[in-house]
Amino acid sequence: MYFRSYYYRHTFILDKKGNYKTNTDTMKSTTAKLWIITVALLLSLPSFAQVSVWPGDVNNDGIVNTVDVLYLGLGFNTQGPARNNTSTVWQASQGSPWNDILPDSTNYAYLDCDGNGFVGTSDFNAIQQNYDSTHGTIIVDPFPLPDSTSPAFYFSGLPDSLQAGDTITIDIFAGSALLPANFFGLALSFNYDTSLIVANSVSVTPDSLLDSPVDRIFLLSTDNNNSGTFDLALTRLANAGGSTGNPVTVVSQRILSITFIIEDNLIGKMVAGPLELSLSNIRMTSKNLAKSSGNTDAVTLPFVDVAASVSMPEFNNLRVYPQPSNAFVIVDGLAENGFATLTDLTGKTISYQAVVRDNKNTIDCTQLAAGMYLLHIETRFGSTVKKIMIEK
């Protein structure tokens, strides 16, 4: 039962214990309960306001690959909300979306691979660390197929012939006056015969046309020795060094140089056959993320006098060990004295040059940085090249 007082304009309610209370008290209690329920629901459903980031999958397509590098360059040097979990370990991490998005609606939170609230070099490192990792369903990032309007990418500076142990550097050119190559980011694959090229000897150097003090780049390269595929990606950096990052237009110009080493023992691996090289999967992005492709190239390089280059008995017993090494390398098994020169993969002579004798010779490698080197040995009968792998 209740009594109404028009003077106070409140409703008095008689509760079960015989106490009177106003409807105002009841409304306050109900409102408080509603707020508690609302807050509880919001706290229990945080994913509606967050994104799930896999470190390195910048375009959120389910796989870490060269395309992620192209996306990362577009958001370089930007800032946003950091995540609670600042890590590049391959696992999902929840974070708040940023205010910035790329033209295809990719949120910048995915570019922040390590979760520190800044798009920079450490995020590029996360791509390298987690390369080829996958999660969920892979959604192929669409690039158009090349056609007659696509620019050409092609080899240049090719040697007339090859022989065992050669260190080869060839150039990759792009574009023409009619069909220039325009891009902010570029990804491509260099394909080779794994039986003819030394494992882990493929390396790439960008031309100064792409990498300058004003317009720096990220360059990622990864070598799959099993398939003979060397994938690489490079991107200009938006906002790098205070600039806005400029696209590049290439007209019959060199963009990259690729270096590799021919196997020094080809017996049983070929019958005077050529080395086949090709470029494939050429993908480009503009600064507004417009996507295009390039026309590919393939070449064959012949070998000269293969049998003579691989069957010199003077070097049949030559051994260079241990491989890899972090201190000293032994050269053993020469048929006679010779002269040894140590170079890097570009042919630049390292400090070591000495006479090697027809017994055990020790090369001090303690001062060398980790990497691959070439040991050139010359005798009066001829010459050979052995690779040396240094690990620290």
pLDDT in tens, 80-134: 999 998 999 999 999 999 999 999 999 999 999 999 999 999 999 999 999 999 9
- pTM: predicted TM-score of the whole model, two decimal places: 0.68
Which has more confidence, 20 or 289? 289
pLDDT at 383: 79
| Cis omega (within 30 of 0) for bond into 302 | no
Per-residue pLDDT reduced to its tens digit, 45-64: 444 478 999 999 999 999 99
Confidence of residue 69 (pLDDT cuts 50, 70, 90): very high
pLDDT at 377: 86
Give the range among 143-157, 172-186, 267-281, 312-326 with minimum mean pLDDT. Answer: 267-281
Over range 312-323, report the average pLDDT.
78
pLDDT at 60: 95
pLDDT at 30: 60
List all residues 6 or more positions away from 233 whose beta carbon is below 8 Å from its beta carbon.
66, 67, 69, 70, 185, 186, 187, 188, 218, 219, 220, 221
Per-residue pLDDT reduced to its tens digit, 290-301: 999 999 999 988
* Helix intervals (H) in 232-330: 306-310
Would you say residue 304 has pLDDT above 70? no
Residue 69's H or E segment, with its range, is helix 66-74
Residue in the block written with tokens 């990719």: 106
Tokens describing residue 43: 């706290």
- Concatenate the DSSP letters of all residues of 316-357 into one string: TT-EEESSSBSSEEEEE--SS-EEEEEE-TT--EEEEEEEE-
Please state, rounded to an integer, the average pLDDT across all residues of the chain.
82
Confidence of residue 255 (pLDDT cuts 50, 70, 90): very high
pLDDT at 37: 60
pLDDT at 359: 78
Would you say residue 191 has pLDDT above 90? yes
Would you say residue 178 has pLDDT above 60? yes
Give the range among 16-30, 171-185, 378-392 with minimum mean pLDDT. Answer: 16-30
pLDDT at 35: 63
How many Cβ atoms from other residues are within 10 Å of residue 149's Cβ?
9
Would you say residue 12 has pLDDT above 80? no
pLDDT at 17: 53
Share of the chain above pLDDT 70, in %: 80
Nearest to 210 by CA among 256, 279, 151: 256
Which has more confidence, 336 or 258? 258
